[in-house]
């Protein structure tokens, strides 16, 4: 299938403000692009592009005083297959894990493993390791938290979300990641596009989505918010938690003035593209 995706995001800056934007599809998906995924700016100003330590594409922008609009509109090819389920995927002992996965066992800004260790082992210590353990954690998070955009907070941690029992997709991901790490399963945060493809459309405006990946011999996708395999994920960035993959980080005050995301399956004459 083919998916049309993109965004239009505007900020009002009271003064010239440096910004780092992380809005491109992840380099691992670039080969799937049918049309280019280009960051466009209004006013048109130059950017300095680089890949960060997690392999994500970033742009340094010196936003002028006034309004800056960032936008993109592209088509990408997707397999059309739902997230893989590998019920027999095994958990590796820590000493056998690839060293590059070990950072995803540690606590991070939004994932306070030190506060959850006792709870995690009490709740999941008798669950079979590997895939069953991660799925049980997803079930727990999915049932423990109530989703609602009105519950969004840019500073909410996994501990706070667990206490409040509510949040948005990033909170579901942070809590599941934290519990996985407590149980010695490397887990990393993912952000990207996830449209209502193959499921009933939701009434809320489209937004970027958060999910996570765990290492069970290789990396697998899990989604504690939806807790079911989904079609059409388009990865933008990975990291330890939301700190590492913020779509926009401003180094000075600026106000969000507009936000629109599109993620739709491309159809031709009423027939899905392949």
- Residue 204: the pLDDT is 83
The secondary structure of 107-151 as a DSSP string is -BTTB-HHHHHHHHHHHHTTSPSSHHHHHHHHHHHHHHPEE-GGG
CB atoms within 10 A of CB 121: 12
* Residue extents of the structural domains in the chain: 2-80+247-272, 94-243
- Could you give the count of Cα atoms lying within 13 Å of 245 in the half-sphere of its Cβ? 29
- Residue 227: the pLDDT is 97
CA dist 141 and 162 (Å) reads: 8
- Tell me: the pLDDT tens digits for 73-98? 999 999 999 999 999 999 999 999 99
Question: Which band of pLDDT confidence, cut at 50, 70 and 90, is reported for residue 274?
Answer: very low
pLDDT reading at 127 higher than 70: yes
Instruction: Please state the pTM of the whole predicted model.
Output: 0.94
- Tell me: the pLDDT tens digits for 27-74? 999 999 999 999 999 999 999 999 999 999 999 999 999 999 999 999
- Mean of pLDDT over the chain: 95
Angle, nearest 10°, between helix axes 131-144 and 169-182?
140
- Tell me: the pLDDT tens digits for 97-116? 999 999 999 999 999 999 99
Tokens 């106000």 appear where? 255
Residue positions counted in the chain: 274
What's the average model confidence in pLDDT over 119-133? 97
CATH assignment, 94-243: 3.10.620.30
Question: Which band of pLDDT confidence, cut at 50, 70 and 90, is reported for residue 270?
Answer: low
CA dist 112 and 176 (Å) reads: 11
Triad 188, 216, 176: Cα angle to 5°: 40
Question: Which band of pLDDT confidence, cut at 50, 70 and 90, is reported for residue 267?
Answer: confident
CB atoms within 10 A of CB 106: 11
Please enumerate, as own/partner, the contacts of 122-126 that have beta carbons within 8 Å and a separation of 24 or more: 123/179, 124/179, 124/183
Domain 2-80+247-272 in CATH 2.60.40.2250? The answer is yes
Tokens 């997707």 appear where? 78
pLDDT reading at 147 higher than 80: yes
The secondary structure of 170-207 as a DSSP string is HHHHHHHHHHHHHTT--EEEEEEE----SSPPPSSPP-
DSSP state, residue 25: P
């Amino acid at each position: 299938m083919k998916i049309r995706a993109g965004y239009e995001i505007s900020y009002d800056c009271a003064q010239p403000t440096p910004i780092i934007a992380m809005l491109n599809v992840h380099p691992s998906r670039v080969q799937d692009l049918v049309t280019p995924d280009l960051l466009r700016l209004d006013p048109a100003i130059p950017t300095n592009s680089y890949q960060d330590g997690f392999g994500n594409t970033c742009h340094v922008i010196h936003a002028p005083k006034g309004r800056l609009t960032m936008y993109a509109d592209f088509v990408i090819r997707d397999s059309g297959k739902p997230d893989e389920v590998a019920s027999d995927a095994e958990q590796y002992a820590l000493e056998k894990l690839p060293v590059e996965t070990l950072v995803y066992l540690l606590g991070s800004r939004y994932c306070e493993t030190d506060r959850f260790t006792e709870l995690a082992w009490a709740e999941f210590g008798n669950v079979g390791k590997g895939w069953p353990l991660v799925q049980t954690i997803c079930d727990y998070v999915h049932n423990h938290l109530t989703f609602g955009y009105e519950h969004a907070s840019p500073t909410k941690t996994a501990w706070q979300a667990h206490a409040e029992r509510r949040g948005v997709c990033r909170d579901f991901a942070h809590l599941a990641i934290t519990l996985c790490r407590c149980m010695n399963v490397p887990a990393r945060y993912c952000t990207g596009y996830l449209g209502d493809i193959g499921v009933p459309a939701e009434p809320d405006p489209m937004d970027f989505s958060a999910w996570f990946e765990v290492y069970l011999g290789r990396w697998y996708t899990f989604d504690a918010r939806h807790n079911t395999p989904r079609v059409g994920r388009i990865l933008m960035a990975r990291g330890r938690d939301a700190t590492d993959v913020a779509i926009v980080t401003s180094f000075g005050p600026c106000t969000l003035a507009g936000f629109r995301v599109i993620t739709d399956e491309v159809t031709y004459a009423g027939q899905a593209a392949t």
